Amino acid sequence: MDLGIKGKRALVCASSKGLGRGCAEALAEAGVSLVLNARGAEALKATAEAIRSRYGVEATAVAADITSESGRAEVLAAAGDVDILVTNAGGPPPGLWSDWDRDDFIAALDANMLTPIALMTALMPGMAERGWGRVVNITSQSVKAPIAQLGLSNAARTGLTGYVAGTARQVAPMGVIVNNLLPGIHATDRADALDGGVSKSEGISLEEARARRAATIPARRYGTAEEFGAMCAYLCSQHAGFIVGQNILLDGGGINATL
């Protein structure tokens, strides 16, 4: 399928690895030129080079913390007028409800709610002026069903979801289409880190920890960054203009719900 976005420009945040990289690659395959971002310069440079040589599109790398004001300013200056925005950042740390104080919540809200909102606020006016734009926010399955030990993530991402629900309907008349993508368990470094913790605490191998978690998913496997990226690219395509303010779950059937 021709996604109809060849020649567009995208900013994909937190994209040297994992789900962000999956989105960047799928957009590059559709002919979109990219501004990529992550904190670690080396991995980011390698990803940008790989994308340039594989897909023949421009890929500018900006090494910066997207959750800080100065990092965002740097990324936005390099991005200029983009047509497509994919927001992403690392998730907050796990813990127990009684562990977290105000500062922990402020940090989580800054990273996973206020950062994507600031990026949308900065870039959507230009999209609206030009009459075309696409925004995909990478959130989490925790928006549909809470993950108890990720209370900071549950709270911050649900706040973003509420914001998007209203805002998506305000900008749709200007041709700006905003949706959220909700990852369930995907095979990335983050999943490895979580499985590594279980392997240590339960005295089992990493493979065993992975196999146990995969067994809880009806698809009996983890999702891939490529599958995730393909859905992201579709939501950024010409064909997605009637999909407004939706929360699209990619979880292999993990959340047992009718709707």
Sites of contact with ligand NAP (CB under 6 A): 14-20, 37-40, 43, 65-67, 88-91, 138, 140-141, 183, 185-186, 188-191
Please say which residue, 38 or 231, places its beta carbon nearer to ligand NAP: 38
Please say which residue, 190 or 239, places its beta carbon nearer to ligand NAP: 190
Q: How far is the CB of 242 from ligand NAP (least distance, A)?
A: 26
Please say which residue, 2 or 226, places its beta carbon nearer to ligand NAP: 226
- One-letter amino acid for residue 86 of the chain: V
Q: How far is the CB of 14 from ligand NAP (least distance, A)?
A: 3
Q: How far is the CB of 176 from ligand NAP (least distance, A)?
A: 23
Q: How far is the CB of 140 from ligand NAP (least distance, A)?
A: 4
Residue 55 in tokens? 């897909």
Spatial strand order of the sheet with 176-183 comes to: 59-63, 33-38, 9-12, 84-87, 133-138, 176-183, 247-250
Which run of H or E residues covers position 134? strand 133-138
User: If you compute the radius of gyration of the chain from its CA atoms, what whole number of angstroms results?
Assistant: 18
Which run of H or E residues covers position 147? none
d(CA 144, CA 134): 23
Query: How many CA atoms, within 13 angstroms, populate the side-chain half-sphere of residue 251?
Result: 22
Three-state SS for 7?
A: coil
Residue 199 in tokens? 């392997």
Q: How far is the CB of 24 from ligand NAP (least distance, A)?
A: 10
d(CA 56, CA 230): 18
Q: How far is the CB of 173 from ligand NAP (least distance, A)?
A: 30
Please say which residue, 33 or 37, places its beta carbon nearer to ligand NAP: 37
Q: How far is the CB of 215 from ligand NAP (least distance, A)?
A: 16
Please say which residue, 71 or 133, places its beta carbon nearer to ligand NAP: 71
Whether the CB-CB separation of 82 and 12 falls below 8 Å is answered with: no
d(CA 106, CA 102): 6
Alpha-carbon distance values, 26 to 20, 171, 196, 205 (Å): 10, 25, 29, 33
Q: Which residue has the tokens 């996973």?
A: 112
Nearest to 9 by CA among 37, 28, 29: 28
